Chain A
Amino acid sequence: MTQLADSVVRMIDEFAKLPGIGRKSAERLAYHLLRIHKSEALALADAIRNVRENVHYCQTCFNLAESEQCGICLDPQRDPTQLCIVEQPRDLMALEQAGVFRGRYHVLLGRIAPLDGVGPEQLTIGQLVDRVAQGAIREIIMATNPTVEGDGTALFISNLLAEYPVTITRLARGITTGSILEHTNKEILADALVSRQKYA
């Protein structure tokens, strides 16, 4: 077998680190990029560079944004009294596609998972409390994943916010427990938002 150039090996290594990409797929992707036109391959490199250099977390809600604040935080039409709490930007996108919610969001950037060493201080919970303390928010909707860790995170936050004059609700359980929000049918998500319930 011929020795591959170091730079090709490096590219294969990088692809193989991506989720769902095994060694074989990584090699296939690498050969594909070597075969296509140089400008096409560089367009991918540019897109990656552009995203990583220009997209960051919204300073207010931690959604993905290309300026200091995301489109939702900048939109004056969005109700500033309702705040929906999600684990990841991809959950926010799933809820937006359901098209029912007109308030704003707070993205935790994870969930409390003590067994994996993730405590509340690794998430954006401190910033959430600061937002609530400012006083405009009247209702908080917990939309963490309906898993043991997602429920535990929502419970921790609702305990933390108990001293503030906000109503805390959570998504109705039309969503299959133990499943992942991101992959939930958008009709079910819309139903769940409409029929949200007061936090016990």
Chain B
Amino acid sequence: MASEKSLAIVLRVVEFSETSCVVTLFSRDFGKIGVLAKGARRPKSPFEAALDLLAVCRIVFLRKSSDGLDLLTEAKLERRFRSASRDLGRLYCGYYLLELLRELTHQGDPHPDLFDLADHSLAAIDHGADLAPIVLWFEFAALRILGHAPRLDDCAECGGALPDLERIAFGQVAGGTLCQRCREGQRQIISVSREALCVLRKFNETSLEHGPPGLPDAVRGESRGLMQHYIAHLLGHRPRMHSYVATAAIRTAIRTGAVQVPGETSARGGGNSRPSSTP
């Protein structure tokens, strides 16, 4: 059994026995891995506080030769996600990044650039960055790294020029904007304003070294709606955190009254709505 080291983000912790956990990690060097953490639930755990959601830690694990779980032997906490006791909007955006990492990546498929992006984005979310641009920036960059970047400069079907109209069609199946001819007969079309499209192009092109470009309040709702539809289409289902993120990430826009998110009417968990029913 080879001993491996990496930095990792904790994606999920499931109780396995009285004292052990199965932990899903997104590691910088080995991608998504599932490890058994023996003794993690004991008071004097060898992993201490490292194995909590959203934590970044330095891990050592033993690879199993068969397809059993790898065995975690060490986890040292590098950074804890502190917004959990301060700001639910930040916590829920952090959860959303975890959900995307869980669902968009495959077991054992390393993407160090995606790890660095996630690490940086989580730190920014935790430390007070404006949520809407950082979440949208993460989404675009993650899709690009994983080969799902939408095409926004010309027609995603034929490569032809886009029409000179106020609203352009975005085809979820085609994975990008569409010309007049190609939009005919296409299903799952979202109409996007020219203004929003300009901003989305900047997000689509921005390099990982630069932070997120500016995101004007007026296009926040529209950008969020488009991205959420596109991601739900890619995954084949709507991510659990979408309704929470729609609330948290466009809060500023809601305050200015400039917003309307398609299909996001029942957002909850923002902090002040009383739960309607209980078991």
Contact = CB atoms under 8 A, between A and B. Distances in A.
A148 B18 contact: no
A124 B55 contact: no
A176 B49 contact: yes
Contacts of A147: 52-53
Contacts of A119: 268-269, 275
Contact of A183 (B43, B54, B87, B279): B43
Interface in A114-168: 114-115, 117, 119-127, 129, 147-149, 151-152, 154-156, 159-160
Interface residues of B, number: 44
Contacts of A123: 275, 278
B95 A114 contact: yes
Interface in B95-146: 95, 98-99
Interface stretch (B60-68, B78-86, B157-165, B172-180): B78-86
A148 B16 CA distance: 19
A191 to B, nearest CB: 14
B41 interface: yes
B85 A154 contact: yes
A151 to B, nearest CB: 4
Contacts of B54: 148
B4 interface: no
Contact of B85 (A109, A151, A178): A151
A169 to B, nearest CB: 13
A108 to B, nearest CB: 10
A180 B49 CA distance: 10
Contacts of B265: none
Given A121-B276, A159-B88, A115 B271 contact: no
Contacts, number: 110
Nearest to B51: A178
B275 A120 contact: yes
Nearest to B84: A151
B86 A124 contact: no
Given A114-B92, A114-B95, A124 B279 contact: yes
Given A19-B17, A159-B88, A178-B50, A121 B272 contact: no
A179 B43 contact: yes
A179 B49 contact: yes
Given A19-B17, A115-B99, A177 B41 contact: no
Given A114-B95, A125-B275, A155 B51 contact: no
Given A19-B17, A148-B52, A155-B85, A114 B241 contact: yes
B17 A183 contact: no
Interface string B37-61: 0000111010011111111000000
A19 B22 CA distance: 13
Interface residues of A, number: 36
A200 B85 contact: yes
A122 B277 CA distance: 8
Nearest to A180: B41
A115 to B, nearest CB: 5
A160 B274 contact: yes
A151 B98 CA distance: 17
Interface string B4-31: 0000000010011111000000000000
Contact of B48 (A125, A178, A200): A178
A20 interface: yes
A124 B278 contact: yes
A148 B99 contact: no
A121 B276 CA distance: 7
A56 to B, nearest CB: 12
Contacts of A156: 88, 269, 271
A148 B52 CA distance: 7
A115 B88 contact: no
B240 interface: yes
Contact of B95 (A115, A120, A155, A179): A115
8 closest Cβ pairs, A-B complex: A178-B49, A20-B17, A126-B278, A178-B52, A151-B84, A159-B271, A151-B85, A121-B275
Interface of A: 19-20, 109, 112, 114-115, 117, 119-127, 129, 147-149, 151-152, 154-156, 159-160, 176-180, 183-185, 200
17 contacts: A120-B275, A121-B277, A121-B278, A122-B279, A125-B278, A149-B53, A149-B84, A155-B84, A155-B85, A155-B87, A155-B88, A156-B88, A156-B271, A159-B88, A160-B272, A177-B52, A178-B51
